[in-house]
Amino acid sequence: MKLKYDFPLRRWNSFGINASAAVFCDAASLEDLRSLLLRDWQLPRAPLLLGGGSNLLFTDDYEGPVLHVGLRGIEERADGGDELLLRAAAGENWHGLVRYCVERGWGGIENLALIPGSVGAAPVQNIGAYGVELSNTLVEVELMDRDTGNIHSLSAADCLLAYRDSIFKGELKNRVVITAVTLRLSRRPKLEYSYGALTAELQRLPSADRNLRAVFEAVCRIRRSKLPDPAVIGNAGSFFKNPIIARERYERIAERFDAVPHYPLPDGQVKIPAGWLIEQCGWKGKQLGNAACYERQALVLVNPGAASGQDILNLARAIQDSVRTTFDLELTPEVTIL
């Protein structure tokens, strides 16, 4: 285990922000992770656990240890006929896992292709896209307690998964490190392509060709056409959550604006796409300082090259102000701001 001091984090966060860590270390085994967590660092900040760095924004240097969770390994746990349990270590790349499953004909997470980040980060915000969320396949999460180094597990139900939310953002925040997840996949998957753009892509194919791989490839095509590749232009995907509001509030907005896109939820509330709200406020494609609102999807804030974390934060705040003034709605970041 090599400790690296005053370590540049630019390549370790998908925004490509030039921050540094007081100390950086890769934890490639549970033993490494335990000893790093239990160490007396004598630094101003507690260890920051880093997966793929794809959902965080550094607004300053990190005056503490940054520990990369580098645990690897994928194993088939049990085989119950059409279903199988797959355990993947937290440091595996999420998209790599999706590809691994699609190549073997195992369905369940193909709609979550190309979501940047690591397997261990997936339960934290219950990643979701194109009609599927991690909650649809998650069985269990293995954790290391940050204070004791002990390992325990949590069933999916106990993870309190909700829209971009989980117990790891609430009660267990900063208390545990996710070390592995177990998913339930199917050898005879029921394909989900009811999301508009995905339906259109699949309907172009003869019905015999509408299979797991076709869904996977269509999701990859749609994402590539709308979302910037973090390897080319720094970003963390959607910067804000889509607000969920009471139907009466949605109706008041609908009286003032034509064709407000919205998704009614089973509990009677309504989800409004934040990308639409931001576009209505005129931010789509606009730059503020060195940060920009992406020209093809207003919900994505980007670093065209020279943005600092503070530039991105200033843009985020300006967007929140506009949306508050225009719609009387509060946008909540889905990205962790440090």
By C-beta, is 108 or 237 nearer to ligand EPU? 237
Site string for ligand EPU, 234-253 (x = CB under 6 A): ---xx--xx-----------
275 near ligand EPU (CB under 6 A) = yes
By C-beta, is 297 or 303 nearer to ligand EPU? 297
3-state secondary structure of 47: coil
The tokens describing 252, both together, are 């008041």
Site for ligand EPU (CB under 6 A): how many residues?
18
Residue 334 appears among annotated catalytic residues = yes
273 near ligand EPU (CB under 6 A) = yes
CB of 70 to ligand EPU, least distance (A): 23
Residue 103 appears among annotated catalytic residues = no
| Nearest one of 224, 228, 164, 221 to 198, comparing CA atoms | 221
299 near ligand EPU (CB under 6 A) = yes
Catalytic hit among 34, 87, 146, 164: 164
For tokens 């794809």, name the residue. 54
103 burial via Cβ count (<10 Å: 0-12, 13-18, 19+): exposed
Sheet with strand 300-303: strands edge to edge: 234-238, 300-303, 291-293, 287-288
3-state secondary structure of 84: strand
By C-beta, is 125 or 308 nearer to ligand EPU? 125
CB of 183 to ligand EPU, least distance (A): 19
Residue 210 appears among annotated catalytic residues = no
CB of 263 to ligand EPU, least distance (A): 8
CB of 320 to ligand EPU, least distance (A): 14
Which residue number places its CB atom closest to ligand EPU?
Answer: 237
334 near ligand EPU (CB under 6 A) = yes
Contact 338, 59 (CB under 8 A): yes
Stretch that binds ligand EPU, among 45-53, 60-68, 173-181, 276-284 (CB under 6 A): 276-284
Question: Which one of 24, 230, 284, 292 is in contact with ligand EPU (CB under 6 A)?
Answer: 284
Question: Cα–Cα distance between 69 and 177 in angstroms, integer?
Answer: 9
| Nearest one of 72, 25, 14, 28 to 47, comparing CA atoms | 25
Phi, psi of 7 (to 5 degrees): -90, 130
Question: Cα–Cα distance between 225 and 200 in angstroms, integer?
Answer: 14
Residues numbered 212-231 forming contacts with ligand EPU, rule: CB under 6 A? 226-227
Question: Longest Cα pair distance anywhere in the chain, in angstroms?
Answer: 63
279 near ligand EPU (CB under 6 A) = yes
For tokens 């606009």, name the residue. 286
Contact 175, 183 (CB under 8 A): no
Residues numbered 106-135 forming contacts with ligand EPU, rule: CB under 6 A? 129-130
Question: Which one of 261, 264, 282, 285 is in contact with ligand EPU (CB under 6 A)?
Answer: 261
CB of 281 to ligand EPU, least distance (A): 11
211 burial via Cβ count (<10 Å: 0-12, 13-18, 19+): middle
By C-beta, is 107 or 128 nearer to ligand EPU? 128
Alpha helix locations (H) across the chain? Answer: 30-38, 94-103, 196-203, 212-226, 247-256, 274-280, 309-327
Positions touching ligand EPU (CB under 6 A) are 129-130, 226-227, 237-238, 241-242, 261, 273, 275-276, 279, 284, 297-299, 334
Which active-site residues does the annotation give?
A: 164, 238, 334
